[in-house]
Amino acid sequence: MWAKLWRARNPSLTLSMFVVLVVLLSGLLTPFIDYDPVEDVELKLRYLAPSFEHLLGTDGQGRSVALRVFVSVKAFFFPGLIAGLIAVVFGSALGATCGYMGGLIGRSIAALLELIDTLPRMVFLILICTIYQPSITLIALVSSFLFIPSVATLVRRRVEALGAEDYILAHMAHGFHPFKIITYHILWLQCRALMIRQLIFVFAYVLFIETALSYLGDYGVQEPTPSWGNMVAQARTSPTLWPWLFPAIAIIITIASLLAVGDALAQQEEEVKR
C-alpha cells in the first residue's frame, strides 16, 4: 500500500510522504530529548536571525526556534495517534456491527451515531475545555469521540456493499464465525486503507485543534512548554519574523501533507474497488 504510493512518481505526494515520515520520526524521538524551556532562556540572544549557530533564529527569550519547533511535535504526536486509534477502533467496530447485523440493533446504533455527529466539533471541544481542566489529553479524547460517527458511517457503507459479495456469502455458507468475517475478511482485507486514512485525518484534526487552542492561550499548551500554536502567538509581540514564521510553516506543511497522503490512500482504495 505505502510502496505503491511511493512509486507513484508524483513529486508532491512524495514530498508529503517525506514530511509525514519526518513528523513520525520526530514524534518518536522527542520523548527522549531532555529539554528544559526555562534553562534554555538566554536573554542576550534575543531575536537573533537564522545562522549556522541558530538555524531558525531565536525568540524573545533567546531560545532556539529550531529546537522548540522540533520539541513541539511532542505536544500533539501521541495524543493525535491515540485519538486516531480510538476513533478508528470504535468507529470500525460500530460501523461493522451496523452494516453486518442490521435490524433493530443496527438502526439503534446508527441513530446514536447520527446524534453524536450533529454536535459542532469546535464548539463542543471549547465547551468541554471550559467545564473541565483543559489539557491535550482531554482534547484528544473528545476529538476521538466526535470522529467515531464519521468513521462508523464510512465503514458501515463499505460493509453493506461487501455483504452481498459472493466470497462473503460463501464464507457465511461454510460456517465461518461472523466475528472472523467482519474483522479479517471485511475490515482487514477490504477496509484497511479506509481506516488508515481516517486515522491520518483524525491525527491532522488533533494537530489543528491543539495548535489553535494553544494559540488562543487559554485551553492549549501553555508557555514555557513549546507548541507550534503558542510559538505562532508570539507574532503579537515579536518585532521579527523568526519566532513565529517557522512554526507557522510547520503547521501548514504538516497538515497539508497529512491530508494529501490521506487523499492518496482514498484514491488508491477506489482504484482497487474498480
Q: Which domain holds residue 58?
A: 2-75+200-273
Let me know whether 7 and 85 are in one domain.
no
How much is the pLDDT for 269?
66
How much is the pLDDT for 164?
67
> What angle (nearest 5°) sits at the alpha carbon of residue 270, between those of residues 110 and 115?
15
User: How many residues in the chain?
Assistant: 274
3-class SS of residue 31: helix
What letter represents residue 249's amino acid? I
For residue 224, say if its preceding peptide bond is cis, omega within 30 degrees of 0.
Answer: yes
How much is the pLDDT for 254?
96
DSSP string for residues in 104-123? HHHHHHHHHHHHHHTS-HHH
Residue with cell 511532542: 74
How much is the pLDDT for 23?
94
The number of distinct structural domains making up the chain is 2
Let me know whether 125 and 191 are in one domain.
yes
- Quote the CA–CA distance of 23 and 32 in Å, as a whole number: 15
How much is the pLDDT for 136?
85
How much is the pLDDT for 88?
94
Let me know whether 32 and 71 are in one domain.
yes
Q: Which of 141, 163, 198 is the last residue of a domain?
A: 198
Per-residue pLDDT of the chain (274 residues; tens, 9 = 90+): 555 555 556 777 888 889 999 999 999 999 888 888 888 888 898 998 998 888 899 998 899 999 999 999 999 999 999 999 999 999 999 988 888 777 787 788 888 888 888 888 888 888 888 888 878 888 899 999 999 999 999 888 888 887 666 666 676 666 777 777 778 778 887 888 889 899 999 999 999 999 988 888 777 788 888 899 989 988 778 888 888 999 999 999 999 999 998 888 777 766 655 5
Q: 80: closest CA among 231, 228, 235, 249?
A: 228
CB 95 within 8 A of CB 155: yes
Burial of 261 (0-12, 13-18, 19+ CB in 10 A): buried
Let me know whether 182 and 261 are in one domain.
no
Let me know whether 27 and 123 are in one domain.
no
Let me know whether 48 and 60 are in one domain.
yes
C-alpha distances in Å from residue 56, one per residue of 15, 38, 62, 105, 254:
21, 19, 12, 56, 18
Q: Is the pTM of this model over 0.85?
A: yes
Let me know whether 86 and 54 are in one domain.
no
Let me know whether 28 and 132 are in one domain.
no
User: Cβ atoms within 10 A of the Cβ of 179, count?
Assistant: 10
Helix (H) or strand (E) holding 3: helix 2-6
How much is the pLDDT for 114?
87
How much is the pLDDT for 162?
76
Let me know whether 241 and 187 are in one domain.
no
Q: Which of 146, 168, 198 is the last residue of a domain?
A: 198
Let me know whether 175 and 91 are in one domain.
yes
Q: Which of 198, 232, 247 is the last residue of a domain?
A: 198
Let me know whether 61 and 85 are in one domain.
no
What letter represents residue 229's amino acid? G
Let me know whether 71 and 204 are in one domain.
yes
